[in-house]
Amino acid sequence: MDISTEKIDDITVVNLQADSLDASNVAEFKRCVVATVAPKAKIILDLGQVQFIDSTGCGAILSYLRQLNPVGADLKLCSVTKPVRSLFELVRMHRILDIFNTRDEALKSFKL
């Protein structure tokens, strides 16, 4: 798994470059994203390359959200693939997380 971050103005974009987020790599995901947790942080998690997420991966994303909420940070997802989007809808994560079709849409949502 390769995770990269980039800053666009005051927004941090976390690019998850892996086919899956599951039990085999969730520890690495958690270790990498902890560095982005900061007060009032604006974070976009780009899942454009992820084709599969299991329950462990869903839990890792929710855990990330739970770390961000107490410090007033905001997390949005973008470029979610169809299989992952279907899973998020099945387990109702789309009700908890803001999900955008593109990175640009997610970036614009922070400016509203």
Evaluate whether 53 touches 22 at the Cβ level (below 8 Å): yes
Q: What is the value of pTM for the model shown?
A: 0.95
The pLDDT assigned to 13 comes to 98
For position 63, what pLDDT does the model report? 97
- Here the tokens at position 1 are 């798994």
pLDDT tens for the 112 residues of the chain, in order: 899 999 999 999 999 999 999 999 999 999 999 999 999 999 999 999 999 999 999 999 999 999 999 999 999 999 999 999 999 999 999 999 999 999 999 999 998 7
Are residues 62 and 31 in contact, defined by beta-carbon separation less than 8 angstroms?
no
What pLDDT is recorded for position 112?
A: 79
What does the domain layout of the chain look like in residue ranges?
2-103
Side chain identity at residue 50, one-letter code: V
CATH domain 2-103 topology? Transcription Regulator spoIIAA (3.30.750)
